[in-house]
């Protein structure tokens, strides 16, 4: 009774004491015992976690060269399947936001809520499960790494032995370059998930043009050019409040910055996504009260570019005095800069 195929083995559905559970069974291959070692790590970390948005490990069996895990069952499958499988209905925008917020809470807990900092290392839509109430459950802790004590001021980073945890489409630059992971590595991968949720596109597609193959890179370029609305999920067009979309794009864009110190913490991500959801609900409430017949938010024919602080700092050379071209009425300087790949001169 196979209900899914995970990255490290088959997942079966089974009934125990009138309850339905997910049962993961895995045996080592003839040339490697690595899968069993990964699952043993998963047991070690999951047994220490207690969070409503983290999958619950209910029991395990480790004998005769075989490892079996028993988890709570998430009846609605993975976020990946719900976004990309043809037999699934589109997920409403507010539900997508709620799913993202729940995963952000789980990651925030891993980074700050346990005795030691835990780095998931494999954040992806395939490792986000949804139960029958559409509550998200972060799963697959087989590649999790322990950082310093959560109350320590030591850098939250650790060296890794290999790159097996990440697919190249969601890998943070520092992992590929130095083999080092930190809590900001999880932030980067979560940012990739945010773009996947918004655009309903796979995070890597070899059939697209070279500059569009990696979704997060393409989305960032569209944000910088003010054309992001053209690549979001067609199902969502007209259903996202402009201020909500702006806030969502700001946090997704900041999550996938090349430099770790320019990425937010998961706590900041969580708060920003909650604000985005609040803005969406407020906009829908105002629309219903003023225009009961209105069913969609109107996007301008040419969407106004979303310009973020990090971009402004870049185009003004971090507000260098040589870039000043004038002053406001009250003395505030006006800077010049070039955006749209250096083709548009603007005043900042």
In this structure, whether the domain defined by 2-72 belongs to CATH 3.30.200.20 is answered with yes
Q: What are the Cα distances from residue 84, in Å, to 2, 231, 310?
A: 20, 15, 32
Tokens of 48: 């220490």
Give me the residues paired with residue 137 across strands. 129
**How would DSSP label each residue in 271-302?**
HHHHHHHHHHHHHHHHHHHH-TT--SPPPPSS
The answer to whether 2-72 and 79-290 have equal CATH topology is: no
Tokens of 316: 């003004």
182 φ/ψ angles, rounded to the nearest 5 degrees: -150, 180
Give me the residues paired with residue 70 across strands. 23, 59
Instruction: List pLDDT tens digits, range 78-112.
Output: 999 999 998 889 999 999 999 999 999 999 999 99
> What does pLDDT average to over the chain?
79
Instruction: List pLDDT tens digits, range 183-194.
Output: 999 999 999 999
Q: Is 122 a catalytic residue?
A: yes
Q: What residues does each domain of the chain span?
A: 2-72, 79-290, 309-347
Which of 7, 18, 31, 122 is the catalytic position?
Answer: 122
Instruction: List pLDDT tens digits, range 199-237.
Output: 999 999 999 999 999 999 999 999 999 999 999 999 999
Tokens of 114: 């346990």
- Least confident stretch, 14-18, 70-74, 242-246, 284-288: 14-18
Q: What CA–CA distance (Å, rounded) separates 233 from 229?
A: 9
Give this prediction's pTM: 0.77
Share above pLDDT 70 across residues of the chain, in percent, rounded to a whole number: 67
Range from 136-140, 252-256, 299-303, 343-347 that averages highest in pLDDT: 252-256
**How would DSSP label each residue in 35-83?**
HHHHHHHHHHHHTT---TTBPPEEEEEEETTEEEEEEE--TT-BHHHHH
CB neighbours of residue 187 within 10 Å: 26
- Tell the residue number behind the tokens 């998931």, with chain if given: 120
Closest CA to 201 of 222, 216, 220: 216
Element (H, E) at 9: strand 9-16
79-290 in CATH: which number? 1.10.510.10
Structural contact between residues 308 and 250, judged by C-beta atoms closer than 8 angstroms: yes
Instruction: List pLDDT tens digits, range 282-328.
Output: 999 998 888 777 778 866 443 444 455 555 666 666 777 777 766 65
């Amino acid at each position: 009774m196979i209900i899914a195929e995970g990255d490290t083995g088959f997942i079966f559905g089974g009934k125990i004491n009138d309850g339905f559970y997910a049962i993961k069974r895995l045996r080592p291959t003839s040339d490697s015992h690595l899968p069993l070692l990964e699952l043993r790590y998963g047991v070690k970390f999951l047994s220490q976690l207690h969070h409503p948005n983290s999958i619950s490990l209910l029991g395990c069996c480790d004998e005769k060269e075989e490892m079996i895990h028993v988890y709570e069952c998430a009846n609605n499958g993975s976020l990946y399947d719900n976004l990309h499988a043809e037999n699934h209905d589109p997920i409403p925008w507010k539900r997508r936001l709620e799913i993202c917020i729940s995963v952000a809470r789980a990651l925030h807990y891993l980074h700050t809520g346990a005795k030691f900092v835990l780095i998931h290392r494999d954040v992806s839509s395939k490792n986000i499960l949804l139960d029958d109430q559409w509550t998200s459950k972060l799963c697959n802790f087989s590649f999790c790494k322990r950082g310093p004590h959560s109350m320590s001021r030591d850098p939250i980073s650790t060296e890794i032995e290999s790159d097996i945890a990440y697919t190249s489409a969601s890998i943070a630059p520092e992992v590929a370059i130095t083999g080092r992971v930190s809590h900001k590595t999880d932030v980067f991968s979560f940012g990739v998930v945010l773009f996947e949720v918004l655009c309903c596109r796979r995070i890597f597609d070899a059939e697209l043009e070279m500059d569009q193959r990696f979704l997060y890179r393409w989305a960032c370029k569209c944000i910088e050019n003010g054309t992001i609305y053209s690549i979001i999920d067609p199902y969502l067009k007209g259903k996202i409040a402009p201020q909500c979309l702006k806030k969502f794009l700001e946090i997704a864009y900041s999550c996938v910055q090349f430099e770790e110190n320019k990425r937010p913490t998961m706590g900041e991500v969580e708060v920003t996504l909650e604000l985005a959801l609040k803005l969406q609900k407020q906009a829908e409430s105002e629309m219903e009260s003023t225009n009961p017949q209105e069913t969609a938010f109107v996007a301008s024919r040419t969407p106004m570019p979303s310009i973020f602080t990090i971009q402004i700092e870049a185009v003004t050379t971090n507000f260098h005095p040589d870039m000043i071209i004038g002053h406001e009425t009250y003395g505030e300087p006006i800077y010049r800069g070039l955006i749209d790949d250096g083709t548009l001169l603007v005043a900042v």
